[in-house]
A and B are shown apart, each in its own frame.
Chain A
Amino acid sequence: MKTEKIILKNETGLHARPASEIAKIASKYQCTINLIVNDKTINAKSILNIMAAGIKSSTEIEIQCDGTDEEAALAELLQAFNNNFGE
């Protein structure tokens, strides 16, 4: 399993557009991908799960990828987070 912690910079939090970005990326990979926020586990392949978590800006998020393509998945997700989802 690969994990990495980041702080959400996106100013408006994980609203529909960034949530859909994450779910879109996550769904491309075989491995299980979870976001851990305040001890809650969120399925990163589910836009509803991500949005329902209501993650605000400056929150710490741990990305966990577990499976064959975990490395590539983590790398692409990190890049999306670091680019602020193009916002």
Chain B
Amino acid sequence: MMIKGKGISKGIGFGNVVVIKNQEIKIQETTVENTEDELERFKKALQEITTETAEIVNNSSGTEKEIMTAYLMIMQDPSLITETEDLIKNSKYSAEYATEVGLNSVIQIFENMNDEYMAGRARDIVDIKNRLIAKLLKEERVDLSNLKPNTIIVAKELTTSDTAKLNFKNVSGIITEIGGTNSHTSIMARTHSLPAITKVENATEILKNNDYIAIDGESGEIYINPTEEEKNKLLEIQKTISEEKNELEKYKNMESKTKDGYKVELVSNIGTPKDVELVIENTSEGIGLLRSEFLYMDSESMPTEEEQFNAYKEVAEKMEGKPVIIRTLDVGGDKEIKYLNMEKEANPFLGYRAIRLCLDNVDFFKTQLRALLRASAFGNIAIMFPMISSIEELKKAKEIVEECKKELDEKNIAYKKDIKTGIMIEIPSAAIIADKLAKECDFFSIGTNDLIQYTVAVERGNEKISKLYTKYHPAVIKLVKSAIDGAHKAGIFCGMCGEAASDKLLIPLLIGLGLDEFSMNSNKILQSRKTISKLNKKECEELASQILEMASATEVEEKLKEFIEKNV
């Protein structure tokens, strides 16, 4: 049988289904007669999750081990369960209900503490509570970090914290009921070169645990118990994909330069420290964009300076001196964070987001900046501000960085004294006054996704007008040129971290315009290095001057296609 969805990440996967259901468990107030049996049941459940956690502790190392050890000790702490046991013994509550009530009272103590870090520990206890109740109800909790090899995950939707736990080595595909091309799941799937299909109606009902299926992440086809013929067809596609991949292997560890020796930097966009593996595997030359949102989105409360410092430090150390550009918090717009209590706005993309929000909330902005500065002592970190639209914002942000440096100096805490600060060029006003902004910072990175949407006034997610959203619009290209020229006039470098940076058609134009750094998903690095190696800088410059004369996006796209066909 074959069902179909929308392919969002290329590749073929064969494997067994694991369905993830994230239903909220509601516990009813129930009482029991035999309190001793009930107490026994509770203790057994606790014993089971303790054993499971102890195993994780044994198999982990470093910071993770420390965190898991503390978590295990909370689990083993007698005062965690005093109240729960009392409720079973004296109020004759069922084990499930007693756990719910008893642990909630502990959770409250932590939630009410006037300390963001401690309040954050409440979520550890919530997690323990949920695991206990699941055990008591004998519900199988899917352990995402411990899947069997060749698992195909089927879910309504994967949350950020789900994917953070995933052990990708054992996953051979992902199927979800909801989510688009730019959803978190699809970006993550493409980053890890995992086939993924979305918009599969009722997938979590149709597909059952342990079903053997085969999927094609490009066509969106899902074969349940595939026939020999179907299998062979997919294996054929898989072969082509792996041949293409092998061809790209040659470009590992090569310099990124054109035929005539013009060198550029090819670096990665990443979303979490876990992604560093792929950065290294694809011999990317650094990190052009580390989105710091993961720290905030995965968390129930504001991440502390310590938590942030550890995450940034981990990335900086793993990159061994290669550049790591970390973007300060970029929320608002389409990215919401519960505990910031952001108001709903009529035009979130034109609203209170990113640097605008940070400059108004200096305390939490400083928490992040101090963490970044401290981590800079362990590697080549640079700080990047998003959504800069004016020189005032840039100056204000830099002032706050200077204040943080002073605070660290007073405490004799080390940081990289000559740490670079730069900005995203993603608002047309910034691109237009790029020459002025360039005098106040150390680098630019052009964020094309937002720059396009603000230039052509088309919201990225709105399908009715998506045809108007194009990276080949001559106005967008003019703004890119303005940013690059502005940077070079002031003697600073200009990169690009939007999707356009890895667009095969645009690469020759960007080389021609003089872009210094291309930042993209790690899995695009080798392909882009190959493209660049076939180009000639002089010819790209000629191409650029022709393109700059053009009036329509269609014309631009056709010209770029023609150029690529001729040269690459």
A contact set with B: CB distance below 8 Å: 12-13, 15-17, 19-20, 23-24, 43, 46-49, 51-52, 54, 56
Contact = CB atoms under 8 A, between A and B. Distances in A.
B115 interface: yes
Interface of B: 66-67, 69-70, 73-74, 77-80, 106, 109-110, 113-115, 117-118, 121, 304, 306
A53 to B, nearest CB: 9
* Among B67, B79, B109: residue with most chain A CB under 10 A: B79
6 contacts: A15-B117, A17-B66, A43-B79, A54-B114, A54-B115, A54-B118
3 closest Cβ contacts across the A-B interface? A16-B70, A20-B70, A47-B73
* Among B70, B117, B121: residue with most chain A CB under 10 A: B70
Contacts of A13: 115, 117
A81 to B, nearest CB: 18
B73 A24 contact: yes
Contacts of A47: 70, 73-74, 77
A52 B69 contact: no
Contacts of B66: 17, 20
Given A15-B118, A46-B79, A47-B77, A52 B70 contact: no
A38 to B, nearest CB: 14
A13 B79 CA distance: 21
Contacts of A56: 115
Contacts of A17: 66, 70
Contacts of A12: 117, 304, 306
Contacts of B106: 48
A25 to B, nearest CB: 12
The dominant DSSP class at the A interface is helix
A48 B70 contact: no
B330 to A, nearest CB: 26
A56 B117 CA distance: 12
B528 to A, nearest CB: 42
Nearest to B124: A16
Given A51-B110, A52-B113, A54-B113, A20 B73 contact: yes
Nearest to A52: B109
Contacts of A20: 66, 69-70, 73
Nearest to B76: A47
Contacts of A23: 73, 77
B79 A48 contact: yes
Contacts of B121: 16, 51
A55 B79 CA distance: 18
The dominant DSSP class at the B interface is helix
Nearest to A87: B306
* Among A24, A48, A54, A56: residue with most chain B CB under 10 A: A48
B74 A48 contact: yes
Nearest to B67: A16
A51 to B, nearest CB: 6
A12 B109 CA distance: 19
Nearest to A49: B79
A12 B66 CA distance: 16
A19 B72 CA distance: 13
Given A12-B306, A49-B79, 6 more contacts: A15-B117, A20-B70, A47-B77, A48-B77, A54-B113, A54-B118
A54 B117 CA distance: 10
A37 B69 CA distance: 25
Contacts of A16: 67, 70, 121
A52 B106 CA distance: 9
A23 B74 CA distance: 10
B117 A46 contact: no
Contacts of B80: 48
Contacts of B304: 12
Contacts of B114: 54
B238 to A, nearest CB: 45
B69 to A, nearest CB: 6
B94 to A, nearest CB: 24
A24 B166 CA distance: 30
A19 B66 CA distance: 11
B409 to A, nearest CB: 16
A24 to B, nearest CB: 7
Contacts of B306: 12, 15
Contacts of A52: 109-110, 113, 118
A46 B109 contact: no
B77 A46 contact: yes
B118 A51 contact: yes
Nearest to B72: A20
Nearest to A24: B73
* Among B77, B79, B110, B114: residue with most chain A CB under 10 A: B77
A43 B115 CA distance: 21
Nearest to A12: B306
A47 B124 CA distance: 13
A43 B77 CA distance: 11
A48 B108 CA distance: 13
Contact of B78 (A24, A46, A54): A46
B82 to A, nearest CB: 10
Contacts of A49: 77, 79
Nearest to B304: A12
B283 to A, nearest CB: 35
